[in-house]
Amino acid sequence: MVDLDAAIGYVVAHGDAVDRARLAWLRTGQAPPADVLEKAEVGQASSGGWPAYWGAHVASVDATCFRLAELDDLGAIDRPAARRALTWLARSQRPDGMWEEDESLAGIAPPWAQPGDDEAKLFLTTSAAFWLIVGGPTPGDEDEHAARIARAAEAFRASLRPDGSWPSFLVTGWLGCAMLYHLGWFYESAQIQVALADRVPSMTAADTASMFSALRRVGMSTEDWLLSGARKRLSETQRSDGGWPSDDGEQFNVHTTLAAIRALR
């Protein structure tokens, strides 16, 4: 069984001010202090996106989606900074319905964001569309907002294999699944869920928490059989100190633990 009290204690003991503010919002809906919000929003490019640490001053789809996830945990998805970022994401969609990093980032970006790479392009498409779904439309832009998400979903659906697998990273599967579930394309979503369920027993804690929280964010019930399996996997991977390990080093363990708390709350 997952020990949420221990997880909360881990974040309190090891997190910084932003992490603790995220925890407070996730647990009780407590609004974060102004200085925490400013810290979370710092570095936004004039275009509206955020650059990645590896990408100098060029706004990055991947980095912007990561920052939106942090702001969502602070209840700040409707603040001006997040709205500018969502507008930038929307305008960055390509005519084929997909997203790709700026060509200037070729050779600099990591594999999952590398311009010109089809796997990266599919991942960025599902990630950007997911955050457009979470963020919702700007007043007056409802029809085009829905059309953007539909174009992204069609592009993702066209990539699916007959067995429900997809030609990209594991994370692409659950973000695409969330997008299709949100749109009511339950047959295609269920195919992906079957493929994901086969992977759950060997998933890392970070992947399990991320998948669980993404599918919960679009309204999937915790009683769903895939999420029941994910809950079991989180109970197996929680450490004795209450936290969950990141795939990217100790410095991101708090982030993974917050993702688990978000999913299980």
The CATH code of the domain that includes 148 is 1.50.10.20
Judge whether 252 lies within some domain: no
- What range defines the domain where residue 172 resides? 43-202
The average pLDDT across 224-242 equals: 97
**Is the residue at 127 inside a domain?**
yes
Give domain status of residue 138, yes or no. Answer: yes
Distance of CA 97 to the CA centre of its chain: 19
Q: What is the pLDDT of residues 184-203, one digit of tens each?
A: 999 999 999 999 999 999 99
Contacts with 239 (C-beta within 8 Å, 6 or more apart), sequence order: 245
What is the three-class DSSP state of 55? coil
Is residue 181 one of the residues assigned to a domain? yes
Q: What is the pLDDT of residues 116-136, one digit of tens each?
A: 999 999 999 999 999 999 999
Q: 114: helix, coil or strand?
A: coil
pLDDT at res. 139: 86
8: in domain: no
Total domains present in the chain = 1
Model pTM score? 0.96
Does the residue 91 lie in any domain? yes
pLDDT digits (tens, 9 = 90+) for 65-92: 999 999 999 999 999 999 999 999 999 9
Q: Hey, how many other C-beta atoms are within 10 angstroms of the C-beta on 187?
A: 8
Residue 146 burial by Cβ neighbours in a 10 Å radius (0-12, 13-18, 19+): middle
> 3-state DSSP call for residue 240?
coil
Please indicate, yes or no, if residue 124 is contained in any of the structural domains: yes
Give 57's pLDDT tier (boundaries 50, 70, 90).
confident
Note whether residue 32 is domain-resident. no
